[in-house]
Structure 1
Amino acid sequence: METAKDYLESQDIIIIMGDFNAKVGDERVEDVAGPTGKGTVNEGGSRLIEWCQINDFTIIKTWYQNHLRRQWTWKSPRDRSRNKID
């Protein structure tokens, strides 16, 4: 069975985007997730990490330190808590 990846050249860059509601945490997981995540891993984060391991992908935004005000992607009403959701 052929997949879309079979048609790619070695220099091609693949970008996967979606609303995964995944928190991958702040611990490094092989070459998949870096140390600059936030919080703890949730169920969606575990599935995303596993999928990336199987398909040889990296969650790029977990490898670069952002400015403090850009370290979160979700804010609760009245600014009571913030999360970095992938």
Structure 2
Amino acid sequence: MGNFNSKVGEEKVENIIGPFGTGEMNARGDRLTGWCEDNKFIVSKTWFENHPRRSWTWKSPADRSRNQVDYILIHERFRNSMKSSKSMSGADCGDDHVPVIESMKVKLKKLKKSKRTPRRLIKI
């Protein structure tokens, strides 16, 4: 967890950033995109179209501007598990950042126990 204050912008970047981001990419957003590309992660919040109040995650103290600077990064292996991602602008957290919520459907594999019985040691 950390606070990068990175803006990834509205342009789609390969399979890392989706078309539903907001604002323009800054230098920190470029670094985050490079890290995601190297480690096979995606920025999940940018892949879902939401109402504008569900898109911004940071509000300036005087409420002059709003930006999308908080994201959930997931490994590309779990991309098909994502169902929705949005920010909860009505939550009262006492901070200028708003919580980001991700809905996922994960199907876990059931482990099978081996039916083999252990061999007995024979004394000679």
Alignment of 1:1-86 (within 5 A): 17-86=1-70
Q: Secondary structure at the match of 1:54?
A: helix
Q: Percent identity?
A: 59
The structure whose residues are more often helix, as a share, is 1
TM-score normalised per structure 1: 0.75
TM-score normalised per structure 2: 0.53
List alignment gaps of at least 5 residues for structure 2: 71-124
Cα offset, 1:65, TM superposition: 1.2
| Letter paired with 2:48 | Y
Q: Which has the larger radius of gyration?
A: 2
List alignment gaps of at least 5 residues for structure 1: 1-16
| Letter paired with 1:80 | R
Q: Secondary structure at the match of 2:35?
A: helix
- What is the distance in 1 between the residues matched to 2:16 and 2:2? 17
Q: Secondary structure at the match of 1:79?
A: coil
Length, aligned pairs only = 70
| Letter paired with 2:41 | F
The structure whose residues are more often strand, as a share, is 2
Q: Secondary structure at the match of 1:58?
A: strand
